[in-house]
Amino acid sequence: MGRRSVPKIDPNLDLSRHLFALEQIDQPFDPRAVFGRPGALQIEVGSGKGLFLRNAAAADPEGLFLGIELAHKYARYAAAQLAKRGLANAALIDGDALAFFSRWLADRSAQAVHVYFPDPWWKKRHRKRRVMNEGFLADVERTLQPGGTLHFWTDVEEYFQSTCELIARSTSLLGPFPVAESPADHDLDYRTHFERRMRQHNEAVFRAEYRKGPVGDTASP
């Protein structure tokens, strides 16, 4: 299923604390430059309309939640939703997540990385464009703190299986640990809008969690 259009944004909303172009961000990334304080940083790659960021930031006011979205209109919409709710502990970067991880993020700087329903790039010749590639996964492992987690969900079983195999082959992350499907208590009680669509259409969702062990720990779970 492709992406749908986004509603219009209130032109009176001030997005200056919630939306940043990647080129605005100094290297290396310092959470204090965006959030005004340090804290446990969780990063979502491909935030879409921002449902995960909104819910996670509201549930954990002490944590810091940073979304990275390549599509400008979605980055603006997700940031507007954060601004509308006054969620000062969440923000969007409008730009390329792969560049951000490789050039901006310092070692052991993230508590968690979330990748939900990335573009599967169905055609075989296009699969090199998938975000879950060896270089990105190396950066995830490098930037996670010991004990930090990688969350990967997709509705494409082939993408799920090939990614799990790639993680096992190219990283020392522990997993995959299974993630149970939680019942929804209300219409937006889902991790993302895409998960909502999949489950309402009775489509399968494949979920896994990985953890970074202590330095040098390559043991199996």
Helix (H, G, I), strand (E, B) or coil at 147: strand
Would you call 119 a catalytic residue per the annotation? Answer: yes
190 dihedral zone (left: phi>0; alpha: psi -120 to 50; beta): beta
| CA 168 – CA 182 distance, rounded (Å) | 26
Cα-atom radius of gyration of the chain, to the nearest Å? 17
**Do the beta carbons of residue 175 and residue 143 sit within 8 Å?**
no
**Do the beta carbons of residue 116 and residue 155 sit within 8 Å?**
no
DSSP 8-state class, residue 126: G
Q: Which of 26, 96, 119, 155 is catalytic?
A: 119
Pairing of the two strands 64-69 and 144-154: unpaired
Asked, as a colleague might, if the bond just before 183 is cis with ω within 30 of 0, I would say no
18-56 burial string, b = 16+ CB within 10 Å, else e?
A: bbbebeebeeebebeebbeeebebbbbbbbbbbbbbbbb
**Do the beta carbons of residue 115 and residue 137 sit within 8 Å?**
no
Task: Give the catalytic positions in this structure.
Answer: 119
